[in-house]
Amino acid sequence: MSIIQTIRDKAAVLVFGIIAISLIGFLVQDAFVGGARNPFQSEAKDVGKVNGSEITKSEFDERVKNTEAQYQGQGYRVDESMRQQIQEQIWEALINKQLIADEAKKLGLGFTSKEFTHLLFSEKAPEEFKRQFTDPKTGTYNIEAARNAFKSIQRTKDPEQLRQINEQLIDPIILSQLQVKLMDIYSNGVYLPKWLVEKQQAESNQVSDISFVGISYSTIADSTVKITDAAINEYIQAHKNDFKQERSKSIAYVLFNAAPNHTDSTNLWNKIETLKPQFAAATDAGVFVTRNGTKSPFYDGYINKSRIQVPAKDSILSLAPGQVYGPYYDGNSIALARVIGTKVLPDSVRARHILIATMDPQSGQPTMADSTAKNRIDSIQQAIAKGSASFETLVVQYSDDQGSKERFGDLGYFPNGQMVKEFNDFCFEGKTGDKGVVKTQYGYHYIEIQDQKNFEQAYKIAYLSKNIEASKETDDAASSAATQFASASRTAKTFDENILKEKLNKRLAETVREMDYQIPGLGASRAFVKWVFNNKAGTVSEPISVGDQYVVALITGEKAKGLQSAATARLMVEPILRNKEKAKQLAQKLGKFSSIDEAAKNVAQEVQQVDSIRLSDNFKPGFGNEPILIGAAFNKEYQSKVSAPLTGNSGVYAMVIKNSSSLPGGDASVEDQRSATMMQMKQMMSFGWMQALKEAAKIDDFRLKAGY
């Protein structure tokens, strides 16, 4: 990762030099880093196990922490909801990692340092890595430059840096390559014999015409067929895979709204209104909004008109410098806007630079004395100005930005406001061809502006913005109402009675799982879910604050991990078993018959005809979705005699084949169809093999016990 990328992201990240150092260590060791436990990682309480292998709390926490930092570095706000999603992502990733490692070990697969080297220094190298050594003029990966960079860097002895590189670069590459090897083994095991394709083709060309009689299940009232729990349990045992369940709980709950009300909004509006004259008169608008606690931090720079996205944009941009617009609503906040200045600027600039760094962007520690760095950048500027050395030569020799160094300092085009202020101001307020030295928090830059595009009006604006928040009175009122309800509702009976008495809205959540982080109607509420699983059925909560609401909940039940109970499965199973019982009764109604006409007479029905049935049909006008009739239409036994009663999806049928014939074959060859089908099978394999490993694995989840 380049230092200039650090400037762009405004966050501390790993520099490329550290990556290179760590990789050298890997290449020399000839070790499978990905499968080994980090020697610098302290042992901690497990958060889970995969086939007996621990997922440690320290590893889990570290990966969550790093992922959160990456999201924040990209400008995302990591709130409770996103944090829970990140934890779930890491959990799934660690499970997948272990399953792949286990399967690779079982099959004797590995990924050696020789393979790693061959991958890294080839056109198949990961794109993020290749980009560091891609020639901007040709767009090709400079393998020799990558090799030379590795040779020029000594090994690091910092275990923390090694651990980070193992996790963020080496392990993912090894894991992905093992996954590729496993996928090759699985997909190459796909085989479809020629005879089967020929059989399928012959069957697809067959058509049948049938006569049938059908009696619908609806002719028997559901109330007349009773299905016992014992029958449902017997069905569950025979279809265990369809009725597995996770541990879960069910709750009933009521909400007490503590969100800001109209009075709170009006009070804030009036407060902002009183600040408007002071804001307009302030000599330094940036200092004023910062001192008064603005929601939107002051940006001391110009933003192009096309990039300004705020309510009342046209009204704000029509102001003269010094004028204030507002108050106005901006989502859940109220704001004032003051135009400080305006000028014409490009919306994007292309520049190149040479960096003499004075600090390590990862650790924040100084790397060179300021005076030494200033003397060096001044010498570089003079050498280029006199023509005694080229920019290209000096950037390769001296620049500390490894990311742009291989592109001879070229940063490409970047938009206004993306760089740190000093760097950004020079590039956007100067003109094409300007060269100069700029100091930033990272050191000294010698910059050349190569191009500027799309000039337009740009504005420097200060925003004084405050969130509309519930007052203490609003919050106290909601808290008091929730407390009174909770204290009077300590049992399931009184809970329901008080809901009716106070005309509250009773909400239900029937399946709350132990690692859920939100409940319908509540949003992100991990702390509340943890309360549910730390208490037993029948417990009523004290008021719990969730977002801008107070919740009082009753735990109404619990389902253990394993097979569903008859009560839980009844909704799905009862219609199936009921139709089976009805099918027996309808078969008795059909009675004995030796022809389709006799069967029709027994139940006072008309014989129906359906023609041109094919095996590939899913639905046919006349009887709808009845696979039993589709299949029977090609049973040669029914060409000479009527079928026995057939149990279908919607009723019971008797049928006979009137006519069966073959249509001319299509143009597709057997081999083409075989190849296409095998390709589809391989694609299905690519989606299904990891899920198959998960279903076969023993995965223990201890995250709730570990405090997550």
Q: Tokens standing for 589?
A: 């109604």
Read off the tokens for 377. Answer: 């950048």
Burial group, residue 7, by CB count within 10 angstroms (0-12, 13-18, 19+): buried
What's the CA gap between 544 and 552, in Å, rounded? Answer: 7
> Does position 469 have pLDDT exceeding 60, yes or no?
yes
Identify the pLDDT of residue 227. Answer: 96
Higher pLDDT, 80 or 106: 106
Split at pLDDT 50, 70, 90, the class of 131 is confident
More confident residue, 135 or 108: 108
Query: Which tens digits make up the pLDDT trace of 277-297?
Result: 999 999 999 999 999 999 888
For the cut 50, the answer to whether the pLDDT of residue 13 exceeds it is no
Q: Is 89 or 172 the better-scoring residue by pLDDT?
A: 89
Is 264-467 assigned to CATH 3.10.50.40?
A: yes
How much is the pLDDT for 7?
37
Tell me which residue of 59, 81, 56 sits closest to 71, measured CA to CA: 81
Tokens of 475: 């919050």
Burial of 387 (0-12, 13-18, 19+ CB in 10 A): exposed
Question: Is the CB of residue 501 less than 8 Å from the CB of residue 521?
Answer: no
- Comma-separated ranges of CATH 3.10.50.40 domains in the chain: 264-467
CA–CA distance, 454 with 456 (Å, rounded to integer): 6
Three-class secondary structure assignment of 624-672? ECCHHHHHHCCCHHHHCCCCCCEECCCEEEEEEEEEEEECCCCCCCHHH
Virtual torsion, Cα 156, 158, 161, 167, nearest 10 deg:
100
More confident residue, 111 or 583: 583
- Alpha-carbon span 245 to 174, nearest angstrom: 35
Cα distance between residue 295 and residue 56, in whole Å: 39
343 beta partners: 458
CA distance 47 to 54: 8
pLDDT given at position 164? 66
| Strand positions, DSSP E, 389-434 | 410-415
User: Amino acid identity, residue 635?
Assistant: N
Give yes or no for a contact between 91 and 703, defined as CB atoms under 8 angstroms apart: yes
pLDDT given at position 189:
85
The rounded distance, in Å, linking the Cα atoms of 698 and 49 is: 8
Q: How far is CA 409 from CA 87, 201, 403, 563, in A?
A: 38, 62, 8, 63
The first and second tokens of residue 138, run together, are: 């040709």
Residue 32's pLDDT band, with cuts at 50, 70 and 90, is: very low
Helices and strands: H and E segment counts in the chain: 25, 21
Closest CA to 634 of 7, 193, 205: 205
Question: Is the pLDDT reported for residue 128 higher than 80?
Answer: no
Query: According to the model, what pLDDT value does residue 157 have?
Result: 60
- In order, the DSSP letters of 25-73 are HHHHHT--GGGSPPTTPPP--EEEEETTEEEEHHHHHHHHHHHHHHHHH
Q: Mean pLDDT of all residues in the chain?
A: 86
User: So what's the pLDDT on residue 165?
Assistant: 66
Q: What CA–CA distance (Å, rounded) separates 125 from 169?
A: 12
What average pLDDT does this structure show over 244-273? 95
Q: Residue 652: which residues within 8 A CB-CB, separation 6 or more?
A: 214, 215, 217, 583, 586, 587, 590, 645, 646
Average pLDDT over residues 270-280: 96
User: Tell me: the pLDDT tens digits for 374-403?
Assistant: 999 999 999 999 988 889 889 988 898 877
The pLDDT of residue 47 is: 92
Please report the pLDDT score of residue 153 as a whole number: 47
Query: Using CA atoms, how far apart are residues 211 and 14, in angstroms rounded to an integer?
Result: 75
Nearest to 445 by CA among 389, 413, 401: 401
Residue in this structure with the two tokens 């919306």, named with its chain if needed: 347
pTM for the model stands at 0.67
What pLDDT, on a 0 to 100 scale, did the predictor assign at position 124?
Answer: 84
Mean pLDDT of 482-490: 96
Question: Which token pair is 386?
Answer: 């006199």
pLDDT given for residue 400 in this prediction: 87
| pLDDT value at 6 more than 50 | no
Q: Which three-class secondary structure state does DSSP give residue 390?
A: coil
pLDDT digits (tens, 9 = 90+) for 140-188: 888 887 777 666 544 556 666 566 667 777 788 888 889 889 988 888 8
CA distances from 132 to 74, 286, 355 (A): 19, 38, 16
Fold observed for domain 248-259+470-560: Chitinase A; domain 3 (3.10.50)
Looking at residue 359, what DSSP letter applies?
Answer: B
